Amino acid sequence: MGKQYQWLGYWGLNQDQAVEKTLKVLFPHIETGYQLQILNKSKNISGKIAYFGETLLDTKLGNITVISFAASGIKNASDAWIKIDKDNLILGRDSFGRVPSYWTQINQGIWFSSHCQLLSPILSSQRVNLTALYNYTCFSYVPTPLTPIEGIFSINAGEEIRFFYGNNQVSYSKKIIHQWQSLPKTVKEEKQAIPQLQRLLKQSVENQLEGITNEPVGICLSGGLDSSIIAALLVKLGVKVRGYTLEFDKDKFSEYPYAEIVAKHLNIPLVKVKITPKKIKNNLIKTVQGLDLPFGDSVTIPLSLLYQTACQDTEIIFNGENGDQLFAGWTNKPMIASNIYQVQHPEFKKDFSDQYLQTFHRLYGYEKRIFTANVYQKLSLNQPKKAIISALEKEFSTCLLDRLRRATLMLKGAQNIQPRATYLSNENGLWVRSPFCDIKLTQWTFQTSENLFLKQSCEKYILKKAVESWLPDEIVWRKKRGMGVPLTSWCLTSLWLTLGDWLNPSILKAEGRIIENFPLQLILGQISGHLRGRRIGEILWLLLMWEVWRVKVLGEDTAKVPLLNPFYIPPSVWKKYANIRVNYLGNYE
């Protein structure tokens, strides 16, 4: 199955012939479903867009032309849009960040697209944005409005950019169209909250039922609470549902038994997608290319494999994404505990931005150990804080929990989880539907007292109370645990040679951005006592996804793997040798 939609467009000074020629060269689907839409044509300004797939074309707004795209495939949904208002171009995205949108300026024209890969060939040269790379090592994604490519920019979620021509040049202005923020706390009691939340949850799923026939829809069923709630509501609403769950090779903490409990309780079929290192290796390049941008989380390829399986049975797949962001899931607990401690012990008060950056568990604070001297000198070490400053602004929150939920919606949700899900489903010909991405439901959570979200040590308390009659107790009340991708075990065994293909010292030295021996020092525990165990696999994976992206998507050259490659030695033997070397000759520098 192919992609569900793509677009590539131009707006600016009249260059009709050159624009059409460029569109035909760059747009890969001209013979299969490609459409060329003239957006506007005046004395000086013209606009055209090439696209295929499901769109909502609306010309009823006076003289405004609107083309909208939605990850769900629902006609009245609008996750990203292109508007022409007289001679102005307006590009916008919804607040949940489900559909990305990019732009670049070439001379007196704006090129815009659904994919960075469609814009990069237009540039005279493709160069890595070092600030974006630095942020990627801190977050595992590139925060908007940056992209990894200099000169290409992303539209922020919940924002519109208006381009206009005046004084012989193209200018633009930005407008925030929606803010996540605290609202008057009108929901304070548990008895009041439960029926309201039950009704909103049901409505959020009902809103996603357009286009569903008697054929089954899929649900990414992790065995966690959020996806189980969506599955239960679909069944209650009479939808035929088929669950898809992941099972990891050599995972001591498999989530599959919990998904099986839910499937049996709801009486729905469950398809187990077995994830092995061999499958990871075979799908590495394909997944990175489908993601368009580098995403360094460990779940990317497993989710891609799940979607590959699901697309054989259905065209629509649901998920429970955004539940943690709305209801203050378990990742907020360390920040809350730290805040309480600092209130009681102000002498140990830490910078809030620093604390929040640490929750990503990546490489913030290790810049000198990661980057070559040449790159390090060009970095502004304040950049990661700049990327989160808007999300953490106090003025929009009346309590700590609202501040954290606003931040996770804007950062981990809209910039990572949602666009990643859209890219992976789109690449496999699926419409992805996320009922927790619902405006009314989200606003309700910001009207609800923070005391209903966290009850002693129980996170997402009010959500659990609202659904406890829908699902088994062992699903509703079990302790939350992240998805158990055994990356460190795989990287040091079955994927060892794959690491050597992409992270060996010769390749990193030729690239000139990451210190050539950083991966080896990481494995030896020479970087930090905090980067051990599961963190080793997560960091190696982060770097691996970057290297594959820069070669297979950006098109950079890579050095040949030399015969004297430490990754050709089995890791157990190599670590013994390296430890001896450290003891007698010092660190592996």
Token pair listed for 230: 């969506």
Q: What is the mean pLDDT of residues 539-561?
A: 92
Q: How much is the pLDDT for 455?
A: 87
- Report the range of poorest mean pLDDT among 1-5, 74-78, 194-198, 365-369: 1-5
Phi and psi (nearest 5°) for 470? -90, -25
517 Cβ neighbours under 8 A, 6+ residues apart: 505, 588, 589
User: What is the Cα–Cα distance from 175 to 103, expressed in whole angstroms?
Assistant: 16
Q: What is the mean pLDDT of residues 282-290?
A: 95
Q: How much is the pLDDT for 138?
A: 96
Local confidence band at 475 (pLDDT 50, 70, 90 cut-offs) = very high
Give, in order, the Cα–Cα distances in Å from 532 to each of 277, 354, 399. 21, 20, 34
Asked if 323 and 463 count as a contact pair (C-beta separation under 8 A), the reply is yes
User: What is the Cα–Cα distance from 308 to 306, expressed in whole angstroms?
Assistant: 5
31 Cβ neighbours under 8 A, 6+ residues apart: none
Give the DSSP H or E segment for 89: strand 88-93
Q: How much is the pLDDT for 444?
A: 97
Local confidence band at 345 (pLDDT 50, 70, 90 cut-offs) = very low
Q: What is the mean pLDDT of residues 316-338?
A: 80
Say which residue the tokens 């099986």 belong to: 260
Local confidence band at 483 (pLDDT 50, 70, 90 cut-offs) = low
- What is the total residue count of the chain? 589
Tens digits of per-residue pLDDT, 77-111?
A: 889 999 888 888 999 999 999 999 999 999 888 99
pLDDT above 60 for 337? no
- Report the range of poorest mean pLDDT among 217-231, 257-271, 319-333, 370-384: 319-333
Closest CA to 82 of 93, 71, 74: 93
Local confidence band at 589 (pLDDT 50, 70, 90 cut-offs) = very low
Asked if 534 and 487 count as a contact pair (C-beta separation under 8 A), the reply is yes
pLDDT above 60 for 30? no
pLDDT above 80 for 336? no
Q: How much is the pLDDT for 524?
A: 85
Asked if 157 and 141 count as a contact pair (C-beta separation under 8 A), the reply is no
Higher-confidence residue: 318 or 361?
A: 318
- Name the pTM for this structure: 0.92
Amino acid (one-letter) located at 59: T
Q: Could you tell me whether strands 241-248 and 270-275 are parallel, antiparallel, or unpaired per DSSP bridges?
A: parallel
Give, in order, the Cα–Cα distances in Å from 495 to each of 29, 154, 509, 541. 35, 33, 21, 10
User: What is the Cα–Cα distance from 351 to 400, expressed in whole angstroms?
Assistant: 14
Most confident option among 14-23, 242-251, 461-470, 551-560: 461-470
Q: How far apart are the first and last CA of the chain?
A: 48
Q: Could you tell me whether strands 109-113 and 102-106 are parallel, antiparallel, or unpaired per DSSP bridges?
A: antiparallel
Q: Could you tell me whether strands 88-93 and 159-166 are parallel, antiparallel, or unpaired per DSSP bridges?
A: antiparallel
Most confident option among 160-174, 353-367, 431-445, 479-493: 431-445
Q: What is the mean pLDDT of residues 196-201?
A: 98
User: What is the Cα–Cα distance from 96 to 94, expressed in whole angstroms?
Assistant: 6
CB atoms within 10 A of CB 186: 11
pLDDT above 90 for 38? no
DSSP for residue 78: -
- Report the range of poorest mean pLDDT among 340-344, 419-423, 508-512: 340-344
Helix (H, G, I), strand (E, B) or coil at 359: coil
Q: How much is the pLDDT for 54?
A: 54
Return the bridge partners of 217, or none.
Answer: 241
Q: How much is the pLDDT for 583?
A: 47
Q: How much is the pLDDT for 1?
A: 44
Tens digits of per-residue pLDDT, 50-64?
A: 766 555 445 445 567
Local confidence band at 48 (pLDDT 50, 70, 90 cut-offs) = confident
Q: Could you tell me whether strands 64-69 and 80-85 are parallel, antiparallel, or unpaired per DSSP bridges?
A: antiparallel
Closest CA to 123 of 549, 513, 545, 554: 554
Helix (H, G, I), strand (E, B) or coil at 361: coil
Higher-confidence residue: 341 or 201?
A: 201
Q: How much is the pLDDT for 332?
A: 64
Q: Which domains does the chain have, with CATH numbers?
A: 5-176 (3.60.20.10), 190-329+394-476 (3.40.50.620), 331-387 (no CATH), 487-585 (no CATH)
